Amino acid sequence: MSDFVSAVELKDLLDGGAPVRVIDVRWRLDRPEAGHADYRTGHIPGAVFASLDTELSTHGEPSEGRHPLPSTATLQAAARRWGLRTGDTVVAYDDAKGLAAARAWWLLRQAGVDVRVLDGGLRGWKAAGFEVATDEVSAEPGDVVLEEIGADALSIDEAAAFPEVGVLLDVRAPERYRGETEPLDPVAGHIPGARNLPSMLHLDADGRILDRETVLGTLAAAGVTPGTPVAAYCGSGVTAAHTALVLHEVGIEAKVFPGSWSQWSNTPGRPVATGEQPG
């Protein structure tokens, strides 16, 4: 069963009264505070706004990264605020090619929730001719009990050692990987041994996932084939979750280093590599 759902499929589920809770996870790196305001300008009817910064992440010291994992209790409280009840399916979407929605997928999947991502996001919903709403949805509190999260997350030491046992993917833009530019973190470069595979390579211009054979071919070029131990990191653990989603869709399980480069570059003593891919 696919972890992506089309706009038409979601509309049919909603119209049929299926136990589906839709969450709007709008968040962008260039304006992280604007997601809720964007939600109020137009969202899928019935969707509840879910905050990536306060519900799908926590905050701590720079050495913990920009988006450390929330506690299971924090995530459960958020899920209940969204109205999630035991047995419900969650469909997450955003307006940034699924990158933020995938963070919700990654966390909720670990927590034992049936969760999907809207393929093409809000743009795909509108392109299908479906209406949007501008109300502030306040759901009746849910009763879901989440399983403990964190089993799919790597610590910084596990990320450092991962290239010895598998493929560690750096899914940021190539220029950040090579260390030519670093707009956010104190040091430019990448984790030694990591291979660069930007997340955007798996998507078409509308943010929809490419066909299975194309994705598998792109992964194979980076050394990832079915059975390969693989983990992903990015700037702060958001985009890497999308890569984990894509990998899962084609039958490959992946870990995520949620601290990602923001944690690595803020931790004294961690080695930094620059330049092209390792040989």
Give me the active site residues, please.
234
Distance CA 58, CA 71 (A): 8
C-alpha 137/C-alpha 32 separation (Å) is 20
What's the rounded Cα separation, in Å, for the pair 259 and 54? 16
* DSSP state for residue 164 in the 8-state scheme: G
SS3 168: strand
Are the CB atoms for 121 and 74 separated by under 8 Å? no
CA nearest neighbour of 88 among 138, 130, 36, 146: 146
Alpha helices in the chain (DSSP H): 7-15, 35-41, 72-81, 99-110, 121-127, 156-161, 174-178, 212-221, 239-249, 260-264
CA angle 179, 34, 47 (to 5 degrees): 115
